[in-house]
Structure 1
Amino acid sequence: MNLAKEVFEKLPQPNQSEYTTIIHCYGLNGMGTQAIELYYKMPIEFRDEGIYISVLNACSHSGLVQEARSIFQTIQKKTEKIYSTMIDCLSRASLFEEAQKLIDEYDQDHLPSIVMYTALLSGARKFKNTKLSQNVFDRMEKLFPRMTSVLTSAAVLLANTYASAGDMDKASEIRNKLNKSGQKKQMGITSTVVNGISYEFRAYDRSHPRSKEIYAECEKLSAELLQHGHKYDSSWITRPIDPDETVESVLSTHSEKLAIAWNFVVNPGASSIQLNKNLRICDDCHRATKLIAAIRKCEIIARDANRIHHFTTDGKCSCNDYF
């Protein structure tokens, strides 16, 4: 990101595309304040849908709700994507009533947008709000009955919300219904490049030929985490635990942790690790990765479905735990 900023600042007269790109990058890297500052410095005539989405998204990922409101109010032509980004910002901040009002406002003159409802559902999942999650999902089923793929993802979110709130029976009921329907949820995969070779890991994955070493390293990392005060959060376990499992054994072998462990197996003194996750990183993995970066003095950069997390050796993350 520093290099991208340096290149941008050397441009004599950045064009619209270059402004959009750097503001988008600021947002992905949790640099919302910088994105807003640049937005107000750029030529007004460059402001279009892409710019608005990028700066609102930057606000969303940094928790800058009031700043997002101010920008949103100045936009004369608000498109579906602009509304959706603002609704995402509000939902991430648990401002569900305000988010719902925007959805209702949009629905008055347009066909309903499943993206907006998904943003609201994701926010409800973040705050373990089962009542809102159920209401939003029920409405999605009525409004978008043919969008089976998105509804499947929404059902998984709903099940995870119930699971995180401790209602495993309801979560299992939803998952069983999904299984009977033949719909499959998206599998979480974390990829990492070690010594020039790309590897992929899934939760509880033992397909790697050196999985014994990887799991041994996971146990070592887990012991270090517990020694430094980490407490595994069972609310992020989204399935019933088998008799031979524990909260620690389940959470310590999420795909992110397996990928990190493999890096240390190959390069015990690694000072930098990069990960790519196709889904949002869970809160337990996020807290654990901050600690691992500090304990092992290794910078870890993780790109998930929403943003880029920079875990530094002082035990912090660029997202400031707002994700």
Structure 2
Amino acid sequence: MDRRELGAFLRSRRERITPAQVGLPAGPRRRTPGLRREEVAQLAYVSTEHYTRLEQARGPRPSRDVLTGLARALRLSDPEREHLHHLAGLPPGPLPGPSREVRRGVLDLLQRLPMAPAIVLSAAYEVIAWNALATALMEDFSTLSRRDRNLVRRAFLGPHREGRRLYGVSDVEEFAHTSARQLRAASARYPDDPELAGLVTELRAGSQEFARLWASHDVCARPTPCRTFRHPLVGPVSVDCDVLDITDRDQRVVIYTAAPGSPSEEALRLLSVAGPQRVGLTP
């Protein structure tokens, strides 16, 4: 354990985070850059004394639970989380839950696809990034909570506005079955993630269909090469569906493209003008 480097690293990460980023009031008399030590301790579920001793290179080796809490409180990226564990002398174990951090290169890719709706899904089927045309075709994800951006929850539990289950996609049943199988595989990869476990519990209790699929223990999934969205403004939009795996983040980029010269391409062109003109990021 490198106490001095660990303390310096914790302090540098603490000072870069604003109270607003973690939902705390700034207050009128804040002189400390970033968060206060007691605020980090509160967010990480450790005592202020324990955290202070770590920053001052006087503390004992933190446990894995403490390191997990600190990584969450300080909003560390995956490489920063690994670095924290190595400084503490504890090689990092598997991620506690699906990563929601999207690489800048992937976000740039979404922006460079003006005529192709594209989203990024976490291993738990949460939409964690999107481009403007995706919001025009599906929904403005920036207005939704994390809970409501989960596509497997929407597939099994609604809402079903005007009979348009999951944006009116033509293969909603196949999507639901595929997502249930992939969610079971994700649960095996992240057995200690309470959020993922809670999602599964909610789906099993709220959907007999999901409960039946879950009980089958199937984990294989069939690819979906094409899909039709029933849009309330421009009608049916048929697209090819291509999925790019981001293996180091356990994420998927889903890109929808229409055949050149087709009515669906023209529909996407209309939506590109009428839809929101911004790219969404995870909050």
| TM-score range normalised by the length of the shorter chain | under 0.3
TM-score, scaled to structure 2: 0.26
More helix by share: 1
TM-score, scaled to structure 1: 0.23
